[in-house]
Structure 1
Amino acid sequence: MPSIEPHLSMIGRLKGSLMQLTEEIDQMIDTIDMQESNVLHAFDQIHHSFHNVQTATASYYLKLYLSPFTAQYDVLSTAVQHLSERKHGALIVIQRKDELDSFIHSGLPINANLSYSLLESVFYTGNPLHDGAVLICNDTLISAANILPLSEHEASGNKLGTRHRAALGLSEQTDALVLVVSEETGRATFALDGKLYPIRTTGVV
């Protein structure tokens, strides 16, 4: 768990951001009857602001969720940032309390110290291992090219790709945290408890 000071600081920033969003919504309500008011543009601005708040908050809690189980958050952050910039699809499972052997179709054993260069090489498009998931336990990359159970559910009505369905599928059945980078958009998310959360890829995950 982080110390109380950074946590309170983050909560303070979140409250400030939400108050700003409230002001934007109130302004939209006040001007919605005006003929020259561009309602669609206002919606777009509010959606963008809300997405930024959600992403920053999810990124903070991602570190909170991972810190008891791996000391390599910065390594994961750097790898996800680079993979996102290059639009290299990735699926990274971080084991927490639950054993995962019965939920994962084992791939190729690696058993190497975790590094961002190793993760990036596994998910390089030309690597035959890049389509599966890597499994990380503590500070070790256990295996690559693992197959995860697929979720039968869709998130918020959106059609999901195989990586995101796999991330959700494992997170629905275990307490594992699964990082996903989209090959199509480069966007990064994490799955936990059957939900997907967007995360930042600049500076920190």
Structure 2
Amino acid sequence: MDSIELELSNSIKSDLIKNLNQITLDIQQIMGKIEHKGCCILNEFEQVHRVFSDLHMTAGSYYLNAYLSPFTDQFNEISTAVQHLSERNHGAIIAIERNDSLDSLIHSGTHINATLSCPLLESIFYPGSPLHDGAVLVKKNNLVSAGNVLPLSRAYTGKQKLGTRHRAAIGLSEISDALVLIVSEETGRISFSFKGELFPVHPGGLV
């Protein structure tokens, strides 16, 4: 369960193959249009990019569920909270402990030790909350603490410029098998970090 090469379900495989075949046809059409002088292909490129990005997020959502489901029964609570936070552009960072203990890897914030729930997560990350800038630590079905400081990544070499939340998520996943969910305060986009990499998530595919 620790590998990005986790087996996809048949339904996901079928959907991805169908859409990738369509993208292949679209690319072939673009190549044909390139031969015609004065033909603008910007719209076609944008359409291919949009479809490919959507497939990327769909696959990310599937893997996210697969990586978390053995370690918490509260996946739906996390998913619903993350969707609501995304819709409101409320930034969030949620570290879920898997096999590796995270106690020595983070700077502890405020101890909470409460059953994980959607309303609790949303209240913590509500703008203006004293704990909203830090990360919450989840162990199994409990929200252990909030306002935690995670180690920032020093090794990430991706092309995109990252904010502190994303660098912290990647930093923790570089030195542990933790999975860290992030909601961007600027865009509302959802992503997760695992094994030092960052993956987009489709909001509609979380539940």
TM class, shorter-length: over 0.9
CA distance in 1, matches of 2:70, 2:205: 21
Unaligned runs of 5+ in 2: 2-7
For 1:152, give the aligned amino acid: R
Deviations 1:3-44 (A, max 9, x none): xxx811111111111111111111111111113432222211
Partner of 1:180: 182
Is 2:151–2:168's contact at 8 Å kept on the other side of the alignment?
yes
> 1:155 and 1:71, CA in 2 relative to 1: closer, same or farther beyond 3 A?
farther
For 1:137, give the aligned amino acid: K
CA distance in 2, matches of 1:100, 1:37: 55
Matches within 5 A, 1:47-126: 47-126=49-128
Deviations 1:130-184 (A, max 9, x none): 0000000111000000000000244532211000000000011100000000111
User: What's the TM-score, normalizing by structure 2?
Assistant: 0.93
SS of the aligned residue for 1:43 comes to: helix
**Aligned match for 1:41, one of 13, 35, 43:** 43
Is 1:155–1:195's contact at 8 Å kept on the other side of the alignment?
no
For 2:148, give the aligned amino acid: N
For 1:34, give the aligned amino acid: H
CA distance in 2, matches of 1:141, 1:38: 52
Is 1:155–1:196's contact at 8 Å kept on the other side of the alignment?
no
* RMSD over equivalenced CA pairs, Å: 1.4
CA distance in 1, matches of 2:161, 2:205: 29
Is 2:62–2:205's contact at 8 Å kept on the other side of the alignment?
no
For 2:153, give the aligned amino acid: S
CA distance in 2, matches of 1:199, 1:49: 14
For 1:76, give the aligned amino acid: I
SS of the aligned residue for 2:111 comes to: strand
Give the count of matched residue pairs: 201
Q: Where has structure 1 moved over 3 Å in runs of 4 or more?
A: none
User: What's the TM-score, normalizing by structure 1?
Assistant: 0.94
Is 2:113–2:143's contact at 8 Å kept on the other side of the alignment?
yes
Deviations 1:43-87 (A, max 9, x none): 111111110000011101110111100111111110000000111
Is 2:61–2:205's contact at 8 Å kept on the other side of the alignment?
no
SS of the aligned residue for 2:204 comes to: coil
SS of the aligned residue for 2:9 comes to: helix
For 1:180, give the aligned amino acid: I
Partner of 1:157: 159
CA distance in 1, matches of 2:146, 2:182: 14
Is 1:151–1:168's contact at 8 Å kept on the other side of the alignment?
yes
Is the aligned partner of 1:147 residue 2:149?
Answer: yes
Greater mean alpha carbon deviation, residues 63-72 or residues 32-41: 32-41
